[in-house]
Amino acid sequence: MTTIPAGGRAASAPLMGTEAEPTIFELSVPGRRSFQFRTTEIPEWSATELFDPALLATEPVPLAEVSERDLVGHVTRLSHRQFSVDLGAYPLGSCTMKYNPKICDAIAAMPGLAQVHPGAPASLSQGWLELLVDLERALCEVTGMAAATLQPAAGAAGELTGLLLMRAYHEARGDTRRRIIIPDSAHGTNPASVTLGGYEVTTVPSDARGCVDMDALRSVLDTDVAGIMLTNPNTLGLFEEDIAEIAQAVHEVGGLLYYDGANLNAILGVVRPGDMGFDVVHMNLHKTFATPHGGGGPGAGPVAVSSKLVDFLPGPRAQLVDGAYDWVTPPASIGRVHGWHGNALVLARALAYIELHGSDGLRRVAERAVLNANWLRVRLSGTYDVAFDRPCMHEVVLSLTALRKEHGIKAIDVAKRLMEEGFHAPTVYFPLIVDEAIMIEPTETESLQTLEALATALIDIAAEATTDPDALHAAPRTTPVRRVDEARAARQLVQTFDAR
Ligand SMILES: Cc1ncc(COP(=O)(O)O)c(C=O)c1O
């Protein structure tokens, strides 16, 4: 470990660009303290009087010893080396990284919400319970469902919860089924959740229009099928036009329809999964209903269900009972899927976002998200190949096969080069069924000027692929971290601060 002397460069120089920032341990100076309270009038005590000596640590905890000033400088400099939704466009397809209105944060930070202990009894947290009941009602209205659990911590946790609900439903009917159908365009969490939920995956291919191939679907449907998992619009950004037919065919064999709500941003206030025939829906509140995410959360993945699945929902749920709010566990509940009541402050932000928009506002969110994606689709076609060249929903998928064949430029080269232009990289190599895929989701929060700047950057990069391909291979050259070896990062995970 290198110790930078007091008053060294790290304490004074504002760091930007590609310069390295030392770790907090490298800034450590023995004996240096952040802030100390005066201890007058506090009685002397010894740790051994209060705790069993056998439980006390014998060595000091190895923490960095820094002043408050050094600490704040360090984290502020680090924050300047990040890209975020607050800084610029973040067109990460499927992830819906939109700008989150600050008023939702301000509401979630109100002491009456933020400072309530989750273990407080219902009688002392009536306001919180009312908020949860209101949110559940709003989410059911948006999705066309009967009731919801707010517990799951994210989309994938919602998927597992939904599958356990489907399982409980079938088992309660004495119906043992083994298979869940998933289209080949599905997000990776879908098959993973199916396996965790104790089912086997049956994959159906997409047709030439990028939707579920109906003949292939019919050929795998029988009474062993517990259900189908779909996202609509699907991960190609295309609306599954045969959804009513799909719902009928799956229901006819006694299966259930699961809606992966990661793409709900595209249909808010326009069409509801319940009306399309779905029985279970998870929502990613951190995508659709404005909570900052990325970097691992926090998120929230409530699961809403049709009336036939309500009795199986995780408990307890906040409900109005005889004029007061209380916690109620459904009669055939699958049990808890989260400690306490879910990621509560994400839930508060979501309700704030819904109430602030109202139903008209939510519809406008979807309309603008779809308009922005189609504007980019049209602006970029001619320069890039659009994977399925027809009107898309909230995201557009490009294929860079031609650039790779003609100039040796891959999707990842274009994505990395875009970072030098001040944009976050879009999603690459997903969905898996598109070769050299770049998936762009501009979201409704970006202006026409930003869309134009993004399109211009992508068009200029395509031109550069023919004149200076090495620039693309070397990109990003202006960011704090240059091109990383992505395979090594996955294969050789080093989790210590002094990784080399
Ligand atoms: C289509 C789809 N389904 C499910 C998920 C999983 O959601 P989460 O990241 O909240 O677990 C994602 C995440 O990007 C997604 O895009």
User: If you measure from the C-alpha of residue 468 to the centroid of ligand 1, how many angstroms do you get, rounded to a whole number?
Assistant: 36
For 22-59, write each residue's pLDDT tens digit. 999 999 999 998 877 777 676 767 777 888 888 888 88
Write down the domain spans for the chain.
Answer: 1-81, 103-357, 364-491
Residue nearest to atom 7 of ligand 1 (CA): 155
Q: Which residues contact 113 (CB under 8 A, 6 or more apart)?
A: 107, 127, 128, 131, 344, 345, 348
Q: Which residues contact 263 (CB under 8 A, 6 or more apart)?
A: 94, 96, 231, 232, 233, 234, 235, 393, 394, 395
Residue nearest to atom 15 of ligand 1 (CA): 262
Say how far apart CA 427 and CA 188 lie, in whole Å: 14
Residue nearest to atom 13 of ligand 1 (CA): 95
Closest CA to 341 of 354, 352, 332, 329: 329
Query: pLDDT truncated to tens, each residue of the chain (500 aa)?
Result: 333 333 333 333 333 455 688 999 999 999 998 877 777 676 767 777 888 888 888 888 889 999 999 999 999 999 888 888 889 999 999 999 999 999 999 999 999 999 999 999 999 999 999 999 999 999 999 999 999 999 999 999 999 999 999 999 999 999 999 999 999 999 999 999 999 999 999 999 999 999 999 999 999 999 999 999 999 999 999 999 999 999 999 999 999 999 999 999 999 999 999 999 999 999 999 999 988 787 656 899 999 999 999 999 999 999 999 999 999 999 999 999 999 899 999 999 999 999 999 999 999 999 999 999 999 999 999 999 999 999 999 999 999 999 999 999 999 999 999 999 999 999 999 999 999 999 999 999 999 999 999 999 999 999 999 999 999 999 999 988 889 888 887 898 877 665 44
Please give the helix or strand (H or E) that residue 327 lies within, else none: strand 324-328
Tokens of 383: 């320069």
In CATH, the number for domain 103-357 is 3.40.640.10
User: If you measure from the C-alpha of residue 373 to the centroid of ligand 1, how many angstroms do you get, rounded to a whole number?
Assistant: 19
Site to probe by mutation for ligand 1, drawn from 94, 229, 231 as the one with most ligand atoms within 8 Å of Cβ, is 94
Say how far apart CA 482 and CA 234 lie, in whole Å: 33
Closest atom, ligand 1, to C-alpha of 235: 1
For 117-155, write each residue's pLDDT tens digit. 999 999 999 999 999 999 999 999 999 999 999 999 999
Say how far apart CA 251 and CA 226 lie, in whole Å: 10
Residue nearest to atom 14 of ligand 1 (CA): 95
Site to probe by mutation for ligand 1, drawn from 161, 187, 393 as the one with most ligand atoms within 8 Å of Cβ, is 187
Same CATH fold assignment for domains 103-357 and 364-491: no
Say how far apart CA 241 and CA 344 lie, in whole Å: 36
The distance of Cα 249 from the centroid of its chain, to the nearest Å, equals: 31
The SS3 of residue 94 is coil
Can you give the pTM of this predicted structure?
A: 0.90
In CATH, the number for domain 364-491 is 3.90.1150.10
Q: Radius of gyration over alpha carbons of the chain, in Å?
A: 26
Closest CA to 103 of 358, 441, 357: 357
What does DSSP assign to residue 5? P
Residue nearest to atom 5 of ligand 1 (CA): 155
Around ligand 1, the residues with Cβ closer than 6 Å are 94-95, 154-156, 187, 189, 231, 235, 260, 262, 284, 299, 301
What does DSSP assign to residue 326? E
